[in-house]
Amino acid sequence: MTAAAYNWLARREKRAFLALADGTVIRGWSCGAPMDRLGEVVFNTGMTGYEEILTDPSYAGQIVTLTMPEIGNTGFNGEDYESRAIHAAGLLIREMNPPSNWRAEDTLADALARWGVPALAGLDTRALTLKLREGGTQKAFLCATGSVSPEAAVEKARAWEGLDGQDYATKVSTADAYDWPANVPAQAPLVAVLDYGIKFNTLRLLSREGFRVRVLPARSTAVDVLKLKPAGVLLSNGPADPAALHYAIATVQGLLGKVPIMGICLGHQLLGIALGGKTRRLKFGHHGCNHPVLDLRAKTVEITSQNHNYMVDADSLDPAAAEITHLSLNDRTIEGLEAKKYPAFSLQYHPEAAPGPHDALAAFARFRALM
């Protein structure tokens, strides 16, 4: 690694910084795109998988703090993308390392620069994580250019609208419907996927389960979906506030009872609202690949991958409309639902998680059985 690539001067001077809405300013050095960005700071407790995290559309609008201190060792590899781009608003890490992996096609720093995503290294990410855990998620301004004063950056963070009440699904969804290529027979059952921020591995696993897959834009209506005569409908994961997606809620309500439904993450929240429930914000969200979830029926525990700042409020659900099937063992929030009157179920976590864990993969077989 050359001295220029190691960037000793930037490391020493730490001109780049993160300004939080509460007035805190944390200095580091720029290791991504040389640009500034507003976002909501969250922490992710995964020990691996930064490629999948950054390319997960659910992280749109979020500046991700990784609690694992050494990042970049595996480089960046196109085969590991969960979408066609990096969607996270920014990245905060302790140490940026050069790749040391035979699969690496690029460095993490170069990938961030190519996609126009700023990042800071040299931060005390453990201290920042504790701050977020104790005080909650915060709006922030990531300054990588040094062209904004810390005082002005704090004001920009405070003035930003944040993610509450915002529709980010249409920002990350496909503009046009498409078929996911797979070697499945033409007569195989069709699954219509409503793309609120779909991940490639979800599509891979649906294909592996033997389905033909048609991916539809987020604003597709129930009429659009039913025209395809699908065997089932999958409501995908996605970013930001589910309560802001009035069009999606109407679509789900129009599909209930007419076709089997499976929801993942944001799709889970949309199903909960469609069944009469409400959603609310968590203090600091669930972000990581080590969250224990209790299956209330099987009395088993799954270790799961999660990324969400909102949850279905258990007190808002009518027991006659929905059964709670899964609970978080960390905070007892709802992790799974099943409709009482319709063939529909949902999971708050990501059963398709890549690189893992894979405890929840049986959910796709359950979807097939529901059909």
Point out the residues that are catalytic.
Answer: 265, 350, 352
Q: Which two tokens stand for residue 226?
A: 């039913």
Name 329's bridge partners: none
Name 301's bridge partners: 294
User: DSSP characters for 81-118?
Assistant: -SSSS--BSEEE-SEE-----TT-SB-HHHHHHHTT--
Name 233's bridge partners: 192, 261
A 10 A CB-CB count for 126 gives: 13
Q: How far apart are CA 137 and CA 40, in angstroms?
A: 7
Residue position matching structure tokens 């199903």 = 271
Q: How far apart are CA 142 and CA 31, in angstroms?
A: 12
Helix (H, G, I), strand (E, B) or coil at 246: helix
Are 184 and 225 in contact by the 8 Å Cβ rule? The answer is: no
Q: How far apart are CA 90 and CA 243, in angstroms?
A: 24
Name 346's bridge partners: 263, 337
User: DSSP characters for 268-321?
Assistant: HHHHHHHTT--EEEEEEEEEEEEEEEEETTTTEEEEEEEEEEEEE-GGGS-TTT
Helix (H, G, I), strand (E, B) or coil at 63: strand
Q: Which of 301, 365, 369 is nearest to 335 (CA)?
A: 301
Q: Which of 251, 290, 263, 287 is nearest to 191 (CA)?
A: 263
